[in-house]
Amino acid sequence: MNQTKILIVDDNEEIRNVLRILLQSEGYLVEEASDGTSALKKIDESFDLCILDVMMPDMSGYQVCEEIRKNLNLPILFLTAKSADADKSLGLLIGGDDYLVKPFSHAELTARVKSLLRRFHVYRGKENVPQHDEVYTTDFMKVNKEMNEVFILDDSMDGARNENGEVHVDLSQKEYEILRLLISHPGRVYSAQIIYETIWEEPYLYSSNATIMVHIRNLRTKVEADPKNPRHILTVWGKGYKYI
């Protein structure tokens, strides 16, 4: 089954990066455009959703929406700092499906995205809503993202093993969410700010870094055979953390 494909259109690179990381952590295939012109060249019937900023330099999101609607009926989620009812009404009248005001939480974004995709696939001609893999598996670890379960596959890990030879690991909710974020894209470096704002859904402050460090340390204690010399959850000094 094809992976759900989302186009992010925003002239702010930082916002595109945050959106991409959040959506990819949910299993979506994400592409980006930095302006309306490039978005219109890229978008086609292969996309399932467009997240569209309103205020852009060359074409406004409203203009881009009008052009998309001439050929495609995929759902469009407007993303903007404008919260006035008149702005929302205009966006919906010209063909938008929903409106999300900045700043927004991870939970709110994913809820809106899933709702739009569900309606699109059920009512607009696609037979089934694509189901994302419930389990992330690497040579070292298996993470069931629906059940919040973590199993270590490596023989170097101490602990009782199940019938499949796996060691079950008990994690706190935050530890699990951090691990799920890191393992979703092995090798990618996630800054402390991205981790904190994604998991805690709060603005990052300087003191937040200590919170991340404590949770990373606790996570290593539970999943690494030698927490002082981790092999999988690594610190990239000055940049953040990654899973390999």
Residue 214 lies in a domain: yes
Same domain, 91 and 193: no
Same domain, 100 and 202: no
Determine the pLDDT at residue 156: 76
The count of domains in the chain is 2
Strands 141-144 and 233-236: what pairing?
unpaired
Residue with structure tokens 């409203």?
62
Determine the pLDDT at residue 154: 78
In this predicted structure, the answer to whether residue 128 has a pLDDT above a threshold of 50 is no
Lowest mean pLDDT of 29-33, 39-43, 51-55, 108-112, name the range.
Answer: 108-112
Determine the pLDDT at residue 83: 60
Same domain, 37 and 107: yes
Determine the pLDDT at residue 147: 64
Same domain, 106 and 22: yes
Instruction: Please give the Cα distance from 223 to 240 (Å, whole number).
Output: 19
Instruction: Please give the Cα distance from 161 to 151 (Å, whole number).
Output: 9
In this predicted structure, the answer to whether residue 1 has a pLDDT above a threshold of 80 is no
Instruction: Please give the Cα distance from 25 to 181 (Å, whole number).
Output: 6
Same domain, 203 and 177: yes
Residue 26 lies in a domain: yes
Residue 130 lies in a domain: no
Residue with structure tokens 């205009």?
90
**Is the entire prediction scored with pTM above 0.75?**
no
In this predicted structure, the answer to whether residue 132 has a pLDDT above a threshold of 60 is no
CB contact burial 70-86 (16+ within 10 A = b; e otherwise): eeeebbbbbbbeeeeee
Q: Considering only residues 154 and 230, tell me which one the structure prediction assigns the higher pLDDT.
A: 230
Same domain, 225 and 148: yes
Residue 213 lies in a domain: yes
State which of 95, 123, 151 marks the end of a domain: 123
Q: What is the mean pLDDT of the segment spanning 91-103?
A: 80
Same domain, 93 and 143: no
Instruction: Please give the Cα distance from 82 to 99 (Å, whole number).
Output: 10
In this predicted structure, the answer to whether residue 138 has a pLDDT above a threshold of 90 is no
Domain that holds residue 89: 5-123
Residue 129 lies in a domain: no
Instruction: Please give the Cα distance from 36 to 58 (Å, whole number).
Output: 7
Q: Considering only residues 15 and 144, tell me which one the structure prediction assigns the higher pLDDT.
A: 15
State which of 123, 158, 193 marks the end of a domain: 123
Instruction: Please give the Cα distance from 19 to 1 (Å, whole number).
Output: 24
Which domain CATH number covers 80? Answer: 3.40.50.2300
Mean of per-residue pLDDT scores for the chain: 84
Residue 172 lies in a domain: yes
Same domain, 109 and 10: yes
State which of 123, 145, 173 marks the end of a domain: 123
Assign residue 201 a region: left if phi > 0, alpha if psi is -120 to 50, beta otherwise? left
In this predicted structure, the answer to whether residue 234 has a pLDDT above a threshold of 50 is yes
Instruction: Please give the Cα distance from 177 to 162 (Å, whole number).
Output: 23
Same domain, 158 and 210: yes
Same domain, 199 and 119: no
Residue 218 lies in a domain: yes
SS (H, E, C) the chain: CCCCEEEEECCCHHHHHHHHHHHHHCCCEEEEECCHHHHHHHCCCCCCEEEEECCCCCCCHHHHHHHHHCCCCCCEEEEECCCCHHHHHHHHHCCCCEEEECCCCHHHHHHHHHHHHHHHHHHCCCCCCCCCCCEEECCCEEEECCCCEEEECCCCCCCCECCCCCEEECCCHHHHHHHHHHHHCCCCCECHHHHHHHHCCCCCCCCHHHHHHHHHHHHHHHHCCCCCCCCCEEEECCCEEEEC
Residue 128 lies in a domain: no
Same domain, 61 and 144: no
In DSSP terms, which residues pair with 150 in a beta bridge? 143, 169
Which domain CATH number covers 196? Answer: 1.10.10.10
Determine the pLDDT at residue 85: 61
Same domain, 119 and 203: no
